[in-house]
Amino acid sequence: MNKAEHYLGIMICETRGKLPFPEQSFFRKLCLIGRRYGLFVYVFSPLWLRAEGIVSGYTYTKQGWTHRMFPLPSIIYDRCSYSSWEQYAKVREALERMMKRRNILFLGNGLKGKWSVYRMLIKDAAILPYVPETVEYEGSQQLRSWLDDHDGEAFLKPHSGSHGKNTLYVRLDEENGKMHVHGRDQANRLIRKTFREAAAGFGWIRRFIGSRKFIVQTYLRLNNRNGEPFDIRALVQKGENGLWQLTGMAVRKGKTGTLTSNLHGGGQAAKVSPFLEQEFGKEKGEAIIEQIRQLSARIPEILESGHGRLVELGIDFGVDWQGRLWILEVNSKPGRTVFLRIGDTESSAESVENPIRYARYLVLRQLRRVNS
């Protein structure tokens, strides 16, 4: 490959700071690894497009981060995390202007949200038993009906969101009519509220949600014997042969009394096998791991068939008190720091290198088509 012709652009949403983008350690590694595979990697926002058909961006060299102008990328790795609909619309409009100037290939397209993922997953009969019952939030009356039908409990999540932000556990006490709400706000701060009257609680939830799209799910008891919430993150990625592979998995534990286990909310990480053996015994722990492996091999195929090309997925699994496995969430722009937290350096290295390997696979495949 001619290095000068193949630019891999890491697409981000601009942030504040000396370097106006997140995940700087991850992107630094991608820039360095890219050179080994004949790809020049840089970080950019579509909003930095210049009239002359070049884009402002950052790349990492031996001298550190360098800011300069680059040709438009031939391939894009989308790591943009949108903070609002307005930001999404602005970035997508700028991206369309870029696409008119050059035929750009995407490593994968970001999933559209939790409700969309749910509808794709339940179409597969083998997956359906592992998916919690889910509906779209439609208002106080619907939520009241849900609580009446589900032992007074519900778990609410934003349709678009991550890191456990804006999640709510709702419990309606039929004996005294009180409503209890636990969760996290937009800044990942803990929420704990008790309303003497249910109507006040429904009103607060309605204002909290506002115009955003939320889903309502069955509340699952996913705590370990110490009362700590936990889940298991499995990272699946495409690599140098274009096929899906399970890169690694790790347990994420939250603090006792909290709702979620996300690391951004102060959680900790642990190795899967010893954790499950301690909680459920060796035989049951091994069976759960095998279930995770099988589901992790099936889920990417289901989502790609209904969504289009994907490059990697972070699949979050929960295990309830009876040892039953649940698919909690699927993220198309997953983090990977959890592997370093548990000392799994091999999975950590693979998780960073695989997007570059897959990018090279796509470029080579495209070249073969052109030359054939």
Q: What is the pLDDT of residue 265?
A: 59
Q: Which helix (H) or strand (E) holds 116?
A: helix 114-121
- φ, ψ of residue 138 to 5 degrees: the values are -120, -5
Locate 181 and state its tokens: 């709400």
Q: What is the pLDDT of residue 371?
A: 59
Torsion sign across C-alpha atoms 11, 13, 17, 20: positive
- φ, ψ of residue 117 to 5 degrees: the values are -65, -45
Residue 54: exposed, middle, or buried by beta-carbon count in 10 A (0-12, 13-18, 19+)?
middle
SS3 360: helix
Closest residue by Cα to residue 321 from 364, 261, 286, 279? 279
Which pairing describes strands 40-49 and 7-11: parallel, antiparallel, or unpaired? parallel
- φ, ψ of residue 342 to 5 degrees: the values are -100, 5
Q: What is the pLDDT of residue 186?
A: 86
Q: What is the pLDDT of residue 5?
A: 63
SS3 46: strand
Which residue matches tokens 């009362």?
A: 227
**Global pTM value:** 0.92
DSSP characters over 119-151: HHHTTSTTTGGGSPPEEE---HHHHHHHHHHTT
Locate 183 and state its tokens: 């969760």
Q: What is the pLDDT of residue 50?
A: 93
Q: What is the pLDDT of residue 165?
A: 85
Q: Which residues of the chain have pLDDT under 50?
A: 1-4
